[in-house]
Amino acid sequence: MVDPAPVERPAGPPEAVAERAPEEGIATLLRSAYHSVLGAAGAVYVSMPITTGERLVAWCEAHPGARPSPDEHRAEVMDPNVAAGRAVADRIRATSALPAVDPSGLSVPGWGQPEYNGFWHDIVRRHAREVVVVDGWEYSTGCCIELSAARAQGLIVRDEGGQEIDDDRARTFLTRAVERLTAVGLPCDEQQRMLDAGSAAPRP
């Protein structure tokens, strides 16, 4: 029997992840499961907006001062986000020698965004060999955390069309995202942190 990888707290930027790492227990079991499947070979991690992203921004722009109801949020933001992300993951599975990790498939009762952000940050750090970001990533706090984690590990980050997201492209995307998020009153702390740090943690 192979011992699972040692449990570690997410390391390095962003500091927000360290504030509330996932509760040990279920997170430990999940990390062990991913390790048993992916091992040292790793995977392509598909970073996708799920609960936020450009679709949420567009909804808020179309309904000034309002926020979607739970039913509207699921129908107009979450469901289309998940469908788009899974389509990208399926394309990667059809063409890559590495498996694709699709975060939309994991649902843990009692977890909020800080727990998911911390967990996926850790999976990127441990198992990703490459990260592909789905369109609209710059409007998602979770995607920005994952992009920073990937680049801190020296990984190449590509968009869903295969083009690398370098610092110049990231800065362009993030600047526009901060403008739109601010205009509709949605949080943009992570996007601003990345811009202040130079768009993304530089690849070594």
Query: Given this model, what pLDDT does residue 24 score?
Result: 63
Joined together, the tokens standing for residue 109 give 């009762």
- Domain with 122 in it: 41-196
Query: Given this model, what pLDDT does residue 202 score?
Result: 43
Query: Given this model, what pLDDT does residue 147 score?
Result: 95
Joined together, the tokens standing for residue 164 give 């690398």
The answer to whether 54 touches 139, Cβ cutoff 8 Å, is yes
Q: Is residue 19 part of a domain?
A: no
State which H helix or E strand residue 101 sits in.
Answer: strand 100-101
Distance CA 139, CA 188 (A): 8
Number of domains observed in the structure of the chain: 1
What is the amino acid identity at position 162?
G
Q: Is residue 168 part of a domain?
A: yes
Query: Given this model, what pLDDT does residue 54 score?
Result: 97
Q: Is residue 203 part of a domain?
A: no
Q: Is residue 14 part of a domain?
A: no
In sequence order, what are the residues at sequence separation of 6 or more whose Cβ sits closer than 8 angstroms to the Cβ of residue 125? 10, 11, 12, 149, 152, 153
Specify the residue for token string 């992300």: 85
pLDDT digits (tens, 9 = 90+) for 60-97: 999 999 999 999 999 999 999 999 999 999 999 999 99
Q: Which residues of the chain are under the pLDDT cut of 70?
A: 1-24, 199-204
Distance CA 179, CA 97 (A): 38
pTM for this one?
A: 0.83
The answer to whether 16 touches 115, Cβ cutoff 8 Å, is no
Query: Given this model, what pLDDT does residue 198 score?
Result: 78
Query: Given this model, what pLDDT does residue 199 score?
Result: 57
